[in-house]
Amino acid sequence: MLTSPPWTSRTKRLIAAVVVGVCALAVLRLSEILPIIGVGVILSYLLTPVVNFFSQRVLIFRPLTGRMNRNLAVLLTYVMIVVALIVVTLVVVPVLVRQLEEFGRLLPQLFLSLEQGIEHSLNEPLTFNGEPILLDGQPFIPLEQLQLATGVEHITELFQLGDVNLVQTTQSFINSLTGPAFNFVGGALTALINLIFLLSMMFFLMRDGAVFIDRSVQLIPVLYRGDVRRLLHELGRVWHAYLRGQVSLAFLMGGLAFTAATILGLPNPVILGLISFLLEFIPGIGSGLAIFPAALLALTSQSSTFLFLEGAPFALVTAIVWAALQNLEAYILIPRIMGGSLNLHPVVVIVAIIAGATLAGLLGIILAAPAVASLRVFGQYIYGKLMDRDPFPAPPVRKPQARLLWLRRQAAALQQEWNDRLIPALRQWIDARRKQDV
């Protein structure tokens, strides 16, 4: 039996501040494992529907109830993942490695052709209305002025940072992907420990995620439990729309890019599909960036399907096709797959990407948009409580437009005309024909 008196409001605030400070310090000290925790939470969230499917549709035998059912559903999900990884390793990885090697060999030629094309364009004098533009009495040639301003002889020298050549570095990086990626002797133990930690955390999150959320809500004061549930609902809409929608978009756009590259006869279609797949995880601008490697590859190659396409015309056709794919995604796929749950302006998304890259690297870039959308949800709630308004009002019912109402009235009039005059006339004609036949 507790014998201590109830805590005063001041003591409660002090204890709460100490707990928050200790938690913040723990997060800072354990920042190295935060990416693993984030990846585990995201993967668990994405795989929870698969676990629910196995639990509710496959494991429906009477003895398999309760926690045993959930455990087996998680294990079946792991088996499915392992089988998928084996299939990808045996089927996709060899093709990917072969095309990466080919792409690495083509890279110097790509940049050389690009340099020659840019230098040829810049070496022509600028004209206005057919007359050359003069500078100090001489025709203005951009390449000469660029060489005088920078002291470089070739365009590719502009791609150097100090002693580092970005072209050679990119080629070395691509070539390194086909060889050993890391030293197994030094990193195998750490990788194994991280993998075990990740799989264990995912197992419990997929099995008890809903229970964990319900028990966490029970810790909230009674008057605020409804608010917390509504906040969790709104946050769930945001993250559901982004994570599962982004994965679906990545697979769709990667498949469409691979199909388009194969039809156009571009070299390395698997690489172009993979680039489109990966860039989809950069919200807002990723799909647009996928145009450049495809157009660059087409600029220095000939179509294997349409032999008359080569060089600049081939690059132009490729850019048009990729732009069409981007518009297909923007106007058809995104509204149907992701909906309007994020509803963020592109400028906000770009700023969030820059901030996310600074704070958390690649993971910050991927999660920048839903993180900002989540902050907007909290801000909307706080603003509503401060202003004594409903933080999440129901969306207004959109009234039908005047033209739509006119069309509906016309359709109703036509239907009435059909029922009142045309159908009786048709019946009379049929009866008359029957009498003539008799």
pLDDT tens for 323-375 read: 998 888 878 887 777 666 677 777 887 888 888 878 777 778 888 888 888 88
DSSP structural state of residue 350: H
Q: Per-residue pLDDT averaged across 262-291, rounded?
A: 84
The verdict on residue 149 lying in a domain is: yes
Our count of domains for the chain comes to 1
Q: Give the whole-angstrom CA distance, residue 126 versus residue 328.
A: 37
Q: 142: closest CA among 159, 118, 125, 127?
A: 125
Q: Identify which has the larger pLDDT, 221 or 166.
A: 221
**Does the structure show a pLDDT above 50 at 314?**
yes
Q: At 320, is the pLDDT very low, low, confident or very high (cuts 50, 70, 90)?
A: very high
The per-residue pLDDT for 185 is: 44
Residue 217 domain-assigned (yes or no): no
- What pLDDT band is residue 306 in, cutting at 50, 70 and 90? confident
Cα→Cα distances 266→217, 316, 317, 416, Å = 54, 13, 11, 58
Q: How do beta strands 134-135 and 131-132 pair?
A: unpaired
The domain of 120 spans 107-127+134-174
Residues in the chain, total: 438
- Give a yes or no: residue 373 inside a domain: no
Q: Is residue 94 part of a domain?
A: no
Tokens 């000469």 found at:
144
Does 77 fall in a domain?
no
Structural domain contains residue 221 = no
Alpha-carbon distances of 13 from 3, 24, 213, 223, rounded to whole Å: 21, 16, 25, 19
In a domain, 6, yes or no: no
Percent of the chain scoring above 90 in pLDDT: 3
Q: Quick one: which of 238, 248, 234 has its CA closest to 337?
A: 248
pLDDT at 380 over 80: yes
Residue 187: what pLDDT? 54
Using an 8 Å Cβ cutoff, are 133 and 126 in contact? yes
Residue at 374 is within a domain? no
pLDDT at 274 over 50: yes
Least confident range of 164-168, 248-252, 271-275 = 164-168
Alpha carbon distance 232, 236 (integer Å): 6
Is residue 61 scored above 70 in pLDDT?
no
Q: Are 297 and 272 in contact (CB under 8 A)?
A: yes
Q: Is the pTM of this model over 0.75?
A: no
pLDDT for position 399: 57
| pLDDT of res. 256 | 92
**Lowest-confidence segment of 133-137, 173-177, 291-295, 366-370 by average pLDDT:** 173-177
Mean pLDDT of 158-177: 49
* Nearest-5° Cα angle at 252, 246 to 257: 120
Mean pLDDT of the chain: 77
| Lowest-pLDDT choice from 127-136, 163-172, 225-234, 331-340 | 163-172
Coil, strand or helix: which one is 138? strand
User: Average pLDDT in the 194-201 region?
Assistant: 82
Contact of 105 with 268, CB cutoff 8 Å: no
The reported pLDDT for the residue numbered 90 is 82
Confirm if 106 and 300 have CB atoms less than 8 A apart.
Answer: yes
Q: Which residue type, as a one-letter code, is found at position 364?
A: G
What is the pLDDT, as a whole number, of residue 43? 83
Is 437 a residue whose pLDDT tops 60? yes
Comparing CA positions, the residue from 275, 264, 245, 414 lying closest to residue 336 is: 245
Instruction: Burial-class residue 122 by CB neighbours within 10 Å (0-12, 13-18, 19+).
Output: middle
CA distance 232 to 213: 9
- The pLDDT value recorded for residue 164 is 45
Across the range 98-113, mean pLDDT stands at: 70
